[in-house]
Amino acid sequence: MTVTISSRGLPGIGVCQELELADGSRLGIVTRRSGKRDLLVYGADDPDAASARVVLTEPEANAVAEILGGPQLLTALAGLHGDGLVVEQLPVPPSSPYAGRPLGDTRARTRTGASIVAVLRDSTAITSPGPEFGLRGGDLIAVVGTQAAVDQLAAILDGTNGTNGTDRTDATPPAS
Amino acid sequence: MASGSPVSHASALLIQLGAVLFVLGLLGRLAGVVKVPVIPLYLLAGLAFGQGGFASLEESQEFISVAAEIGVILLLLMLGLEYSAGELLGNLRTQAPVGALDAVLNAVPGAAVALLAGWGAEAAVALAGITWVSSSGVIAKVLSDLGRLGNRETPSILGVLVVEDLSMAIYLPLLTALLAGSGVAGVTLAVVIALVTVTTVLIVATRFGRQVTRLVSTDDAESLLLGTLGLTVLVAGIAQELKVSSAVGAFLVGIALSGTVAETAVELLTPIRDLFAAAFFVFFGLSTEPGSLPGVLALAALLAAIGTLTKLATGYVAAARSGARRRGRWRAAVALVPRGEFSVVVAALAVQAGAEPRLGPLTACYVLLTIIIAAAISGVPDRLAATPRRRGSSQPVAA
């Protein structure tokens, strides 16, 4: 089942996405550069304007996203385990050769096949970081891949390619 | 300190500067409470302080004038930082026809009035720019305050602003060269330099944004702040020397920087921009003699009336093109009316270069009037009758 989402850029401010719901009503989400989100319900008699609106701070938006998206994420992750994939959080130690460099420099996907799905920094998650995203020492990287690929990436991040990383924290118990 | 001796220069400077900033702080709070843009209040404060105003600022005027120059540079740098090169190119492609309509409708009245008044060609080009460009700062703030960011007509409003801002990168060098008395060849050269530079920067920023960004990239906030600021002022100075306008140099630096550096720089520079931009508006007010206002009031009112109608037309057409309905079109029309920072930048440039001195007070009045008119009519579109579609029990939208 697909939901129609149209997106329009707001130069200098951010982006606005509009969802057409099955009952004909329409929902809007404005994501501002500042991180604030406007949650909108469009009116019936004036289709161009929002008839109701709440403004969410970034943590509030994350909380809403977690409530809405949590169950789905768990289902998706549970499914992954069946295919021999693991999800792990790998640390970027301050001594890492990639601390202070863009994520793209790790060439994680080409070298290991593992996918970086998020970077956790200061207890917030930056999802789907782009190649230009700057890594810092102390970041945690959420990775999906085979156990071998994830181990290899851990070694790359530690700067000890070839040997296993030593101090990484597992987000999930090893898949059996 | 001997009794009866005048306050020393240094302490007079501090006292005046402190008093000005403190008053601006109070005005900022007032603006927040009554929900009006702060720019007109800063202009009025400058008028009140200045020559012929309530208090003289002899000692601090020189400092404020330097701060004002940096203020223009920072205003334009932040504008450039807020847009990505992709956004600029995309909007230029889709909004070019509306942008052209906007330029013709709004620049021509200014030029015509200046020519009819016999102020000469330079003043005509300046006044064209003053009446043409809407205030990105005021409009973005109003849209956000009124909760209209998610409205369907909003991208078309912002699109018009983007095209205007980008056009400034050509217009300002043209004006600068003209004011410098460069003659036809000199003006053509300045425009060609500007066109080539803008195109180059846009291409470089879209293709090699990462490499340019690396020049100032760092994790350390302090060195990022100094690096960005240094690079900008340096480029602005060189641009000024080449008669291409320091403001445009700063704007282009802002466009060239991208990614996380741009985001962090916006965060770091916003408070500094606010300080120096305030100095810029105050200085403009300061250098305008309040006594000269009544003489230009009628002309300013005429220009504001025309300028309101022409912007209404521009906004209406822009929103109609994007598929907005009746109320949305009128909301866009009303939104574009306020003029602001760009008009003041152009007027300051012209007056400093010795063009018609009445451009200063005229622009101050004009900006104030357009902002007041816009605030007065901003609620009207939402009171318009809805598109007649209500039949009995239209289903209420679940909230």
| Contact between chains at B324 and A41 (C-beta distance less than 8 A) | no
Specify the higher pLDDT residue, A117 or A73.
Answer: A117
Instruction: Return the number of CB contacts < 8 Å for A and B.
Output: 107
pLDDT at residue B203, rounded to an integer = 86
Comparing alpha-carbon positions, the chain A residue that sits nearest to B211 is A132
pLDDT-based confidence at residue A74 (cuts at 50, 70, 90): low
Specify the higher pLDDT residue, A78 or B352.
Answer: B352
pLDDT at residue B394, rounded to an integer = 42
pLDDT at residue A170, rounded to an integer = 42
Q: How many helices (H) and strands (E) does chain A have?
A: 3, 9
Q: Kindly report the nearest CA distance between residue B154 and chain A, in angstroms.
A: 8
Of B103, B241, B109, the residue nearest B166 (C-alpha): B103
Comparing alpha-carbon positions, the chain B residue that sits nearest to A6 is B152
**Would you tell me how many other CB atoms lie within 10 Å of the CB of residue B107?**
22
Q: Which residues of A touch B99 (CB under 8 A)?
A: none
Q: Which residue has the tokens 């060189």?
A: B238
SS3 B235: helix
pLDDT-based confidence at residue A46 (cuts at 50, 70, 90): confident
A37-43 long-range CB contacts below 8 Å, 24 or more apart?
Answer: A37/A61, A38/B147, A38/B149, A38/B150, A39/A64, A40/B150, A41/B397, A41/B398, A41/B399, A42/A18, A42/B397, A43/B397
Please classify residue B33 by burial: count the beta carbons closer than 10 Å to its beta carbon, then call 0-12 exposed, 13-18 middle and 19+ buried: exposed
Give chain B's radius of gyration (CA, Å). 22
ipTM above 0.90, yes or no: no
| Cross-strand pairs, B134 | B339
pLDDT-based confidence at residue A166 (cuts at 50, 70, 90): very low
Comparing alpha-carbon positions, the chain A residue that sits nearest to B153 is A48
pLDDT greater than 90 at residue A3: no
Q: Which residue has the tokens 């602001």?
A: B340
Of A8, A88, A126, the residue nearest B152 (C-alpha): A8
> What is the pLDDT averaged over residues A48-63?
90
A83 touches chain B (CB under 8 A): no
Residue in A16, A20, A23, A46 to test binding to B, most B beta-carbons within 10 Å: A46
Cβ atoms B132, B194 nearer than 8 A: no
pLDDT at residue B219, rounded to an integer = 75
Of A165, A9, A3, A19, the residue nearest A92 (C-alpha): A165
pLDDT at residue B379, rounded to an integer = 85
| Cross-strand pairs, A120 | A125, A140
Please classify residue B146 by burial: count the beta carbons closer than 10 Å to its beta carbon, then call 0-12 exposed, 13-18 middle and 19+ buried: middle
Low-confidence ranges of chain B (pLDDT < 50): 1-4, 389-399
Q: Kindly report the nearest CA distance between residue B313 and chain A, in angstroms.
A: 19
Of A174, A111, A102, the residue nearest A139 (C-alpha): A102
Closest Cβ–Cβ partner in B88, B150, B152 for A30: B150
3-state helix, strand, coil in chain A (%, to 5): 25, 35, 40
Cα–Cα separations (whole angstroms), residue B352 to B73, B121, B295, B334: 16, 16, 20, 32
Considering the entire predicted model, what is its pTM? 0.76
For residue A110, the Cα-to-chain-centroid distance in whole angstroms is: 20
In sequence order, what are the residues at sequence separation of 6 or more whose Cβ sits closer than 8 angstroms to the Cβ of residue B394?
A44, A45
> What is d(CA B399, CA A48) in angstroms, rounded to the nearest whole number?
17
**Which range is least confidently modeled, A127-131, A167-171, B296-300?**
A167-171
pLDDT at residue B391, rounded to an integer = 46
